Amino acid sequence: MGNLVMTSLNPRVCLVMCAVATSALLLTSCTSDDGKDKAGHSSPSSAPSTSATASGPSETKVTEQAQAALAAVQSGKFFASGAERVTDGVHTETILSEGKNYKLNLVCIGSGSAQLSFTPASTGSKATIPCDQALVQQRITGHGSVRINVDGAKGATGVIAWQVDAV
């Protein structure tokens, strides 16, 4: 699969994930009920649902876990990131410097898998992203405007977190 790397999360990464999730929880608890922080600034709304299901953790918790996993493996200078429901997919467009190298890190937590693709296709390789908490890394090359697409397979659920680092 070329330069695609997949690893399972080890206990050290899980510890870092817990620390980052705790920090995020503490930061979000500093807002009032009207969505404004103590200085009166509006805080961004959270897209993921906060309700837990009988079968698993809340979507917010899963999102925090995925983002924490990425934070633990930053592979260069941060460039862009996000998190989406697997059912919604990732469809983001960014401007990457022509000929420069970047690393795309992805973590999908849930069930099933998702398909990664790029436009232009020469940016990186197509890949299957398992929703089993494995970290998937891929080197990509800037071509000006680049579209990153990650589409969940039929029946896939969970959250996909992604991050692009300049290397």
Coil vs helix vs strand at 18? helix
Residue with tokens 């899963």: 62
Nearest to 87 by CA among 62, 111, 106: 111
pLDDT at 160: 96
pLDDT at 128: 96
pLDDT at 74: 75
pLDDT at 28: 35
Rounded (to 5) percent helix, strand, coil in the chain: 20, 45, 35
pLDDT at 71: 86
CB distance 158 to 62 below 8 Å: yes
Question: What pTM value is reported for the model?
Answer: 0.66
Nearest to 9 by CA among 139, 166, 133, 99: 133
Write out pLDDT tens, residues 101-139. 999 999 999 999 999 999 999 999 999 999 999 999 999
Average pLDDT over residues 97-104: 94
Write out pLDDT tens, residues 48-75. 433 334 445 688 999 999 999 888 887 7
Confidence at 42, pLDDT banded by 50, 70, 90: very low
pLDDT at 38: 41
Nearest to 52 by CA among 60, 64, 41, 43: 60
Across all residues in the chain, what is the average pLDDT? 75
Write out pLDDT tens, residues 12-27. 444 444 444 433 333 3
pLDDT at 138: 95
pLDDT at 120: 94
Nearest to 1 by CA among 118, 137, 106: 137
